[in-house]
Amino acid sequence: MLHLIRTLAKMPGERKQDGLTIIEIMIALAIAAIALTGAYGLMLAAGKHYRSSVAMTDMYAYSRLAMERLFRDISETSNETVTVKTTNIRSEDGLRDDAISFASARDASGQFQLATYGAFNFMRPVWQKAIIYYLLDDGSGNGKTLYRKVAAKYDWEINYDPTQAMDMEGEIIAWNVDYMYFGPPYPEVDPEITRKDHVLEVSLGLLKSQEDMKVGPARTIELNTSVPMMNRRSEEHTSELQ
């Protein structure tokens, strides 16, 4: 490159020189600076893309873990113990934030407690506690935080109200949550979960702001699943079997 620059920079009749002139060195430095600037720009763009990809991968992994935790907990409860409270509705896009509570038969050691009942020794869970999932806005502007909390409750004649447990002292399950929804499989027919529903639809949306992504627009992830619940018979049905 230097030889080419030197050749082009020579004037006709110029005496042959063995070294480089200041002009040749300045031109070479300018070309090198342009090349380095271009390479730096490419590296910077690649770094932004990499950070964006890592952020999306982490958010997807966290959202999947949160959904798996929800699925495991809810699938072990009875439809008669589930209470859903809507805490926020965004009318512009139809999304809503819900809090949910339900019974769990797992004791402090993690063992699932069962007991027999009726003339035929049917098995049914012995409820040990209430599990609550809820969203809170921590004021960071980066979406809401999904919490999980356990509350002591043994008498399930009246279900647990999940709004009683909503504070920042619960276990953090996921960050950057945009919304959370619980409902029946066909909400257009019946928008509220009832004791007749044995499948619970769970929807979880997560949002990364453009500032968090460092490049490109804001990105969202939406996960949906159907969670089957046990059909625990009520006391009147139990008496009929006996």
CA–CA distance, 74 with 35 (Å, rounded to integer): 58
Question: H or E stretch including 88?
Answer: strand 83-90
Over the chain, what is the mean pLDDT?
79
Question: Tokens 């409270």 appear where?
Answer: 85
pLDDT in tens, 12-35: 555 555 556 777 777 777 787 787
Residue of higher predicted confidence among 193 and 206:
206
CA-based max dimension of the chain = 119
The neighbour count for residue 84, using CB atoms within 10 Å, is 17
60-80 in b/e form (b: 16+ CB < 10 A) is eebbeebbebbbebbebbbbb
Arithmetic mean of pLDDT, 65-77: 94
Residue of higher predicted confidence among 131 and 47:
131
The sign one gets for the Cα dihedral 137, 219, 42, 30 is negative
Q: Is residue 152's pLDDT more than 70?
A: yes
Q: What is the pLDDT of residue 236?
A: 37
Q: Is residue 146's pLDDT more than 90?
A: yes
CA–CA distance, 217 with 207 (Å, rounded to integer): 11
At 97, give phi and psi (nearest 5°).
-100, 130
Report DSSP state, residue 227: E
Q: Which long-range contacts (CB under 8 A, 24 or more apart) does 114-123 make?
A: 117/238, 118/238, 118/241, 118/242, 119/241, 119/242, 120/241, 122/241
pLDDT in tens, 86-108: 999 887 777 889 999 999 999 99
Residue of higher predicted confidence among 227 and 197:
227
End-to-end CA distance of the chain: 97
How many CA atoms does the CB half-sphere of 212 hold within 13 Å? 19
CA–CA distance, 188 with 192 (Å, rounded to integer): 10
- Most confident range, picked from 39-53, 61-75, 192-206, 228-242: 61-75
If DSSP codes are grouped into helix, strand and coil, which group holds residue 151? strand
Q: Is residue 238's pLDDT more than 50?
A: no
Q: What is the pLDDT of residue 239?
A: 33
Specify the range with the lowest mean pLDDT, choosing from 34-48, 112-126, 163-177, 188-202.
34-48
Q: What is the pLDDT of residue 21?
A: 78
